[in-house]
A and B are shown apart, each in its own frame.
Chain A
Amino acid sequence: MSKVSMVLNGKPVAADVEDRTLLVSFIREVRGLTGTHVGCDTSQCGACVVHVDGKAVKSCTMLAAQADGAEVVTLEGLASGGALHPVQAAFKENHGLQCGFCTPGMIMSAVDMINRHGAGNLDETTIRHELEGNICRCTGYHNIVKAIKAASDQMAGMAQAAE
Chain B
Amino acid sequence: MAVEGIGARALRKEDKRFITGKGRYTDDMVLPGMGHAAFVRSPHAHARVKGIDASAALAMPGVDAVLTGDQLVGDGIGNLICGWMIHSKDGSPMNMGGWRALEPEVVRHVGQAVAVVVADTPAQARDAADAVVVDYEELPAVVDAIEALAPGAPQIHPEAAGNLIFDWEIGDEAAVEAAFDNAAHVTRMEIRNNRLVPNPMEPRAALASYDDAEEHYTLYTTSQNPHVARLVLSAFYNVAPEHKLRVIAPDVGGGFGSKIYIYPEEMVCLWASKRVGRPVKWVSDRTEAFLTDAHGRDHRSEAELALDADNRITGLRVKTIANLGAYMSLFSSSVPTYLYATLLSGQYDIPAIHANVKTVYTNTTPVDAYRGAGRPEATYLLERLMETAAREVGLSPAEFRRRNFVRSFPHQTPVIMCYDAGDYDATLDAAMKAADYDGFAARKAEAASRGKLRGIGLSCYIEACGIAPSAAVGSLGAGVGLWESAEVRVNPVGTVEVLTGSHSHGQGHETTFAQLISERFGLDTDAVSIVHGDTDKVQFGMGTYGSRSGAVGMSAIVKALDKVEAKAKKIAAHLMEAAEGDIQIEGGELKVAGTDKKLTFTEVALAAYTAHNLPDGMEPGLKEGAFYDPTNFTFPAGTYVCEVEVDPETGKTEIVNFVAADDFGKVINPMIVEGQVHGGLVQGIGQALLENASYDENGQLLTASYMDYSMPRADDVPSFKLTTHETLCPGNPLGMKGCGEAGAIGSPPAVINAITDAIGSNDLAMPASPEKVWALYRSAMREAAE
Interface residue ranges, A against B (CB under 8 Å):
18, 20, 28, 32-42, 44-45, 47, 74-76, 78-79, 84, 88-89, 91-93, 95, 97-104, 107, 124-125, 127-129, 131-132, 134-146
Contacts and interface: CB of A to CB of B under 8 A. Distances in A.
B15 A97 contact: yes
Given A39-B201, A41-B287, A140 B680 contact: yes
Given A41-B287, A132-B714, 10 more contacts: A35-B22, A37-B202, A84-B20, A95-B674, A103-B19, A125-B715, A128-B713, A132-B715, A137-B200, A145-B714
A106 B61 CA distance: 38
A103 B21 CA distance: 9
B21 A33 contact: yes
B19 A97 contact: yes
B201 A107 contact: no
B705 A42 contact: yes
Given A41-B286, A45-B201, A99-B254, A128 B715 contact: yes
28 contacts: A32-B30, A34-B21, A34-B28, A36-B21, A40-B286, A41-B705, A42-B705, A45-B201, A76-B20, A76-B21, A84-B19, A84-B20, A88-B20, A91-B15, A92-B11, A92-B15, A98-B508, A100-B18, A100-B506, A101-B23, A101-B201, A103-B23, A135-B706, A137-B200, A139-B679, A140-B678, A140-B743, A145-B714
B6 to A, nearest CB: 18
A137 B714 contact: no
A76 to B, nearest CB: 4
Contact of A95 (B28, B202, B256, B672): B672
Given A45-B201, A132-B714, A138 B19 contact: no
A128 B682 CA distance: 14
Contacts of B671: 95
B714 A127 contact: yes
Contacts of B16: 92
Given A95-B12, A100-B506, A107-B19, A136 B201 contact: yes
B123 interface: yes
Nearest to B504: A99
Interface string B276-303: 0000000001110000000000000000
Contacts of B253: 37, 99-101
Contact of B19 (A40, A74, A88, A146): A88
A120 B23 CA distance: 30
Given A75-B20, A143-B675, A99 B714 contact: no
Contacts of A140: 675, 677-683, 717, 720, 743
Contacts of B711: 44, 135, 137
Given A42-B706, A132-B714, A132-B715, A79 B11 contact: no
B705 A101 contact: no
Interface in B684-714: 705-707, 711, 713-714
Contact of B713 (A47, A74, A131, A138): A131
Contacts of A18: 123
A31 to B, nearest CB: 12
A75 to B, nearest CB: 4
B251 interface: yes
B345 interface: no
A100 B706 contact: no
Nearest to B669: A95
A37 B22 CA distance: 11
Given A99-B253, A140-B682, A142-B719, A75 B21 contact: yes
A128 B714 CA distance: 5
Contacts of A107: 19
Contacts of A74: 21
Given A140-B679, A142-B719, A98 B21 contact: no
Interface residues of B, number: 57
B234 interface: no
B325 interface: no
Contacts of A78: 20
> What are the 5 tightest A-B residue pairs by CB atom distance, in nearest-first order?
A35-B21, A101-B253, A100-B18, A99-B506, A140-B678
Contacts of B683: 137, 140
B749 interface: no
B706 A45 contact: yes
Contacts of B677: 140
A145 B718 CA distance: 10
A132 to B, nearest CB: 6
Contacts of A92: 11-12, 15-16, 19
B507 interface: yes
A131 B717 CA distance: 12
Contacts of A104: 21
Nearest to A127: B714
Contact of A44 (B19, B30, B508, B707): B707
B550 interface: no
Contacts of A101: 23, 25, 200-202, 253-254
B594 to A, nearest CB: 42
B136 to A, nearest CB: 24
Contacts of B109: none
B515 interface: no
B533 interface: no
A41 B126 CA distance: 14
A104 B656 CA distance: 29
A142 B200 CA distance: 17
B252 interface: yes
Interface in B706-737: 706-707, 711, 713-715, 717, 719-720
A159 to B, nearest CB: 22
Nearest to B672: A95
A99 to B, nearest CB: 3
B558 to A, nearest CB: 24
A125 B654 CA distance: 13
Given A40-B706, A99-B253, A131-B714, A142 B720 contact: yes
Contacts of B28: 28, 34
A92 B683 CA distance: 22
Interface string B536-554: 0000000000000000000
Nearest to B251: A100
Contacts of A40: 286, 705-706
Interface in B1-50: 11-12, 14-25, 27-28, 30
B706 A44 contact: yes
A127 B671 CA distance: 22
B501 interface: no
Contacts of A47: 201
A41 B285 contact: yes
B354 interface: no
Given A101-B254, A137-B256, A139-B678, A132 B506 contact: no
B199 interface: yes
Contacts of B104: none
B559 interface: no
B230 interface: no
A97 B251 CA distance: 13
B505 interface: yes
A78 B21 CA distance: 10
B202 A39 contact: yes
A84 B19 CA distance: 9
A93 B123 CA distance: 40
Nearest to B507: A98
B638 interface: no
B203 interface: yes
Contacts of B505: 99
- Which of B23, B25, B286 has the most chain A CB atoms inside 10 A of its CB? B23
A143 B670 CA distance: 13
A138 B254 contact: yes
**B27, B254, B714, B743 interface centre (most CB from chain A within 10 Å):** B714
